Amino acid sequence: MISLKDIGKACIIALWFVALTFPLMVIKVNPIDRIIIWRWHNMLWVGLGSFLCYLAGRAWLMRREIRLRRIRQGLEAELPQRTPLSRRIIQDPVIHRPLLAAGALFFLIFPLLFSTYQTNIMITALMYVVLGLGLNIVVGVAGLLDLGYVAFYAVGAYAYALLNLHFGLGFWTVLPIGGLLAATFGILLGFPVLRLRGDYLAIVTLGFGEIIRLILENWNEFSHGPSGISNIPRPGFFGIQMSLDHSITYLYYLMIAMVVFTIFVVNRLQNSRIGRAWFALREDEIACQAMGIDKTRTKLTAFALGAFWAGMVGVIFAAKTTFVNPASFTFLESAIILCIVVLGGMGSIVGVIIAALVLILLPEYLRAFSEYRMLVFGAVLVIMMVFRPQGIIANIRKTYRIGID
Amino acid sequence: MDYFVELFFSGLTRGSIYALIALGYTMVYGIIGLINFAHGEIYMIGAFTALIVSTVLSIFGFPLPAIIILTALAAAIWASAYGYTVEKLAYRPLRNAPRLSPLISAIGMSMFLQNYVLLAQTPDFLPFPALIPDFDFMEPYAGFIGSSDMVILVTTTVIMILLTLLIKFTRTGKAMRATAQDRKMAMLVGINVDHVISVTFIIGSALAAIGGMLIASHIGQINFYIGFIAGIKAFTAAVLGGIGSIPGAVLGSFILGLTESFATGYVSSDYEDVFAFSLLVLILIFRPSGLLGKATIEKV
């Protein structure tokens, strides 16, 4: 399938990338001791890597072209019946019910099967599931690119830390307060940027996230600065004293309940009146207004509801680590959450859950490659946008049929 | 009063570096309507290439003027190559995609390039040798303006003039303006739009690389993260001046540079970055089209 011409082209591209990456990949200098380290072997890797990547991309494009051509010629009339595997699993109850039951069982007995350490990692992954689902409302459903999502997460975490420190409020009291506070911040941020087009929104939210972090870092009287706040109590259970192991297990089940609650609410929201308004807003703002949808209110609710989940997870985060400092709330976190939404498929709940578990758990178990984590995340964003913008599991919208079928 | 003058000149220096980066943002936005998040990273890559090339050349014993010229050339060439490649890989396939797609792709590219430099080079700060010597004729003014400030100001001014001439009077400049005005129409009159977009990325990247080299030599250290903050600030400057407008980007950059310089000098340096971000939010609320920009009406 791949012709000689393609291989020639791949060679040229490999050469281009070798030349492009030459100074940064091959030479390493120490300006003080005036030493140059030449790493010639890197040239080989770059060349080989780009050669293979080009051929793989080319093969993928050719396959798609051939399929499209056959559809056009009517040769693959049976195509509509050949739904992709992922969709078949979701739609066919015979397949998805046992799968769902097995998954639920696995998650329910997880702390009994694995060590506390593993449970802890799983709690983190579940937190990202909720964060992903929350950001999914803003980015995936309403189509508003929010790059400062971590700010709301920070608001929740600091709400618990500070309210506990000054007023001695407990976890269960602060959980809704943290969520509501974050939602308020969401509305506050939403107001000035409502008039703006999507791309300005991205940069303003990015700036907002950084402002929150810088304030937390520098306003020592308020937030205790970079050293953070420690000794935050773990969540209580009717005042019963628990050992560390038990409280982690407890937190795990709490998080499971939280995930189920989030899935339920987000799912109901998506098919509600406001959810359909969000989808409409994402598809075409002007047409959406022409249909009589209040743009301001719709956008603000998206912001507030998205922020609400981040605030709640922030409270849980503070309770889990018993320590907060501004270093936990950098742009990187926002980028990871965005990556989860994009990889999972914008608007797709199942996709976001799978993507969160994969993106958080894989680096934990592949420690050897953990330094490449952010590199891969960046590449994932680009590759998904270019090759599969709908994500690993595309969102299936509820369709309504009217009339005789 | 001396302190005031000193802050003024340091503000101008900052402003000119922001201007070099902001031009890349504004030109790209003007032509394809995309915030090129990876632009700050191109600036950082320019600074890194300059560091590597200048160190290698100085170890091989080249004379200083030759080092400066060759370093600037190498930084500009490699940064342009990166800019060109990024556009081709991450933006061109998405030209007709929904608006969100190229933005996300740009953020991904920015993360990728940052971590690529981190892994290929080092996560630590690297000292950058001062390329510009202290001139004798600058001695009497040394109290408030250094030689490298002077060089940065002069270089930036020359580059701005050249860029203005290029855009106003050359064939390429005309094609760029036409594409910015109406891409479809430009295609119809026989302008190779893909080519024009590539040229825009190349010019913008080269300017950012020169900015990166100048500021790195001025401040004396670089790391992989410098592009992120510089990128946001330059973008703020571009929005302040009116995104898409070239004189606007320059004006916005100088205003931002001076504001920052005075604010850190007279108020507090802890909140240096907060000033820029707050300024950005304020402009977007009160005058989203910027100082020199035209308000656009979206037609259906």
User: Which ipTM was obtained for this model?
Assistant: 0.86
pLDDT given at position A86: 65
Of all residues in chain A, the one with the smallest CA distance to B283 is A192
Same domain, yes or no: A185 and A279: yes
Give A174's contacts (C-beta < 8 A, 6+ positions apart).
A159, A160, A163, A164, A315
Structure token digits, residue B120: 């290929």
How many angstroms away from the CA of A246 is the closest CA of chain B?
39
Residue of A9, A54, A223, A382 to mutate when probing chain B, most B C-beta within 10 A: A382
Contact A378, B111 (CB under 8 A): yes
Contact A393, A86 (CB under 8 A): yes
Whether residue A349 lies inside any domain: the answer is yes
Hey, where are the domains in chain B?
A: 26-224, 227-292
By Cβ distance, the residue of A20, A29, A193 closest to B82 is A20
* Cβ within 8 Å of B, A 371-390: 371-372, 374-375, 377-382, 385-386, 389
How many domains does one find in chain A?
A: 2
Instruction: State yes or no: pLDDT of A129 exceeds 90.
Output: yes
Instruction: State yes or no: pLDDT of A77 exceeds 60.
Output: no
Same domain, yes or no: A219 and A294: yes
pLDDT given at position A35: 82
Contact A135, A341 (CB under 8 A): yes
CB-CB neighbors (< 8 A) of A204 in chain B:
280-281, 284
For position A356, which CATH number holds?
1.10.3470
By Cβ distance, the residue of B55, B58, B235 closest to A203 is B235
Contact B176, B200 (CB under 8 A): yes
By Cβ distance, the residue of A34, A196, A210 closest to B284 is A196
B271 phi, psi to nearest 5 deg: -100, 25
Q: CA–CA separation, B74 vs B68, rounded Å?
A: 10
Contact B239, B284 (CB under 8 A): yes
Instruction: State yes or no: pLDDT of B295 exceeds 70.
Output: no
By Cβ distance, the residue of B35, B85, B112 closest to A199 is B35
B73 phi, psi to nearest 5 deg: -60, -50
pLDDT given at position A296: 85
CB-CB neighbors (< 8 A) of A337 in chain B:
none
Contact B49, B75 (CB under 8 A): yes
Contact B131, B152 (CB under 8 A): no
Inter-helix orientation angle A116-135/A93-113, to 10°: 140
**Mean pLDDT over residues A18-37, rounded?**
84
> How does pLDDT run across A165-222, given as a tens digit for each residue?
888 788 888 889 999 999 999 888 888 777 776 677 887 888 888 888 888 888 877 7
Closest CA to B24 of B52, B6, B44, B50: B44
pLDDT given at position B170: 92
pLDDT band at residue A80 under the 50/70/90 scheme? low
Contact A133, A265 (CB under 8 A): no
pLDDT given at position B175: 92
Range of the domain at A27: 4-77
Same domain, yes or no: A302 and A179: yes
pLDDT given at position A1: 63
Closest CA to B24 of B231, B286, B208: B208
CB-CB neighbors (< 8 A) of A386 in chain B:
89-90, 93-94, 105
Same domain, yes or no: A232 and A339: yes
Whether residue A83 lies inside any domain: the answer is no
CB-CB neighbors (< 8 A) of A193 in chain B:
284
Q: CA–CA separation, A165 vs A10, rounded Å?
A: 61
* Cβ within 8 Å of A, B 125-164: 126-129
**Mean pLDDT over residues A349-366, rounded?**
85
pLDDT given at position A405: 53
pLDDT band at residue A60 under the 50/70/90 scheme? confident
pLDDT given at position A370: 76
Structure token digits, residue A53: 């990547």
Same domain, yes or no: A296 and A193: yes
Inter-helix orientation angle B272-286/B226-241, to 10°: 30
Same domain, yes or no: A160 and A42: no
CB-CB neighbors (< 8 A) of B279 in chain A:
none
First vs last C-alpha separation in chain A: 44
Same domain, yes or no: A49 and A120: no
Whether residue A82 lies inside any domain: the answer is no
Query: Inter-chain contact B281–A374, Cβ cutoff 8 Å?
Result: no
Q: How many CB pairs under 8 A join A and B?
A: 163
Query: Inter-chain contact B108–A378, Cβ cutoff 8 Å?
Result: yes
pLDDT above 70 as % of chain B: 95
Same domain, yes or no: A21 and A150: no
How many angstroms away from the CA of B80 is the closest CA of chain A?
10
Instruction: State yes or no: pLDDT of A297 exceeds 90.
Output: no
pLDDT given at position A42: 86
Query: Inter-chain contact B111–A19, Cβ cutoff 8 Å?
Result: no
Residue of B36, B67, B104, B264 to mutate when probing chain A, most A C-beta within 10 A: B104
Q: Where among A77, A94, A123 does a domain terminate?
A: A77
CA geometry: angle B277, B282, B285, nearest 5 deg = 130
**Mean pLDDT over residues B218-234, rounded?**
86
Does A36 lie at the interface with B, CB-CB under 8 angstroms?
A: yes
Query: Inter-chain contact B105–A385, Cβ cutoff 8 Å?
Result: yes
Same domain, yes or no: A322 and A189: yes
Higher pLDDT, A404 or B214: B214
Contacts 24+ apart (CB under 8 A), A242-251: A244/A116, A245/A116, A248/A111, A248/A116, A248/A119, A248/A120, A248/A123, A249/A111, A249/A116, A249/A119, A251/A123, A251/A316, A251/A319, A251/A320
Closest CA to A334 of A219, A180, A208, A175: A208
Query: Inter-chain contact A145–B104, Cβ cutoff 8 Å?
Result: yes
* Cβ within 8 Å of B, A 205-224: 206-208, 210-211, 214-215, 218
- Reported as type and span, the H/E element at residue B181 is helix B171-181
By Cβ distance, the residue of B111, B121, B239 closest to A28 is B121
**Mean pLDDT over residues B136-155, rounded?**
77
* Cβ within 8 Å of A, B 199-228: 228
Residue of B25, B45, B112 to mutate when probing chain A, most A C-beta within 10 A: B112
Contact B84, B198 (CB under 8 A): yes
What secondary structure, in 3-state letters, does chain A show? CCCHHHHHHHHHHHHHHHHHHHHHHHEEEECCCCEEEECCHHHHHHHHHHHHHHHHHHHHHHHHHHHHHHHHCCCCCCHHHCCCHHHHHHHCHHHHHHHHHHHHHHHHHHHHHCCHHHHHHHHHHHHHHHHHHHHHHHHHHCCCCCCCHHHHHHHHHHHHHHHHHHHCCCHHHHHHHHHHHHHHHHHHHHHHHCCCCHHHHHHHHHHHHHHHHHHHHHCHHHHCHHHCEECCCCCCCCCCCCCHHHHHHHHHHHHHHHHHHHHHHHHHHHCCHHHHHHHHHHHCHHHHHHCCCCHHHHHHHHHHHHHHHHHHHHHHHHHHHCEECHHHCCHHHHHHHHHHHHHHCCCCHHHHHHHHHHHHHHHHHCHHHHHHHHHHHHHHHHHHHHHCCCCCCCCCCCCCCCCCC
What does the DSSP 8-state code read for residue B269?
S
Same domain, yes or no: A210 and A298: yes
Q: CA–CA separation, B31 vs B115, rounded Å?
A: 28
pLDDT band at residue A351 under the 50/70/90 scheme? confident
**Mean pLDDT over residues B164-168, rounded?**
90
A3 phi, psi to nearest 5 deg: -85, 175
